Amino acid sequence: MSRISLDRVGHAYFGRTVLDAVSMRIEAGECVALLGPSGSGKTTLLQIASGLVTPLRGQVKRRYRRHAMVFQDPRLLPWATAADNIGFGLRQRGVRRAERDARIADVAGLVDLDHDDLEKYPVELSGGMRQRVAIARALAVQPDFVFLDEPFSALDVGLRRRLQQLVLERLLGHRAGLFFVTHDLVEAVQIAHRILVLSADGSGLAGERQPDGIPLQRDARSAFDLAETYLATDPLFADLNNVENRRAV
Give residue-wise pLDDT tens across range 220-233: 889 999 999 999 99
pLDDT at residue 1 in the model: 67
Across 144-184, the runs of DSSP E, i.e. the strands, are: 145-149, 177-181
Q: Count other Cβ atoms within 10 Å, centred on residue 53.
A: 14
What is the percent of the chain with per-residue pLDDT over 90, rounded to a whole number? 72
Structural domains in the chain, sorted by start:
1-66+144-152+177-249 (3.40.50.300)
Length of the chain: 249
pLDDT of residue 231: 93
**pLDDT one-digit tens code per residue, 81-133:** 999 999 999 999 999 999 999 999 999 999 999 999 999 999 999 999 999 99
Q: Does the reported pTM lie above 0.85?
A: yes
Predicted confidence at residue 172, as pLDDT, reads 92
Angle of the 97-110 helix axis to the 127-140 helix axis, nearest 10:
130
Question: Which helix H or strand E contains 173, and what residues bound it?
Answer: helix 157-173
- Helix, coil or strand: residue 233: helix
User: How far is residue 41's CA from residue 22's CA, in Å, rounded to a whole number?
Assistant: 11
pLDDT at 243 over 50: no
Per DSSP, what are the bridge partners of residue 90? none
pLDDT at 245: 39
- Residue 208, beta-bridge partner list: 196
Chain-wide mean pLDDT for the chain?
90
Rg (CA), the chain: 18
Q: In what order do the strands lie in the sheet with 67-70?
A: 67-70, 145-149, 177-181, 31-35, 194-198, 205-209
58: left (phi over 0), alpha (psi -120 to 50) or beta: left
CB 245 within 8 A of CB 239: yes
pLDDT of residue 206 exceeding 70, the answer is yes
Average pLDDT of 39-61?
93
Whether residue 63 has pLDDT greater than 90: yes
Q: How confident is the model at residue 247 (pLDDT cuts 50, 70, 90)?
A: very low
Q: Is the pLDDT of residue 35 over 50?
A: yes
User: Which band of pLDDT confidence, cut at 50, 70 and 90, is reported for residue 248?
Assistant: very low
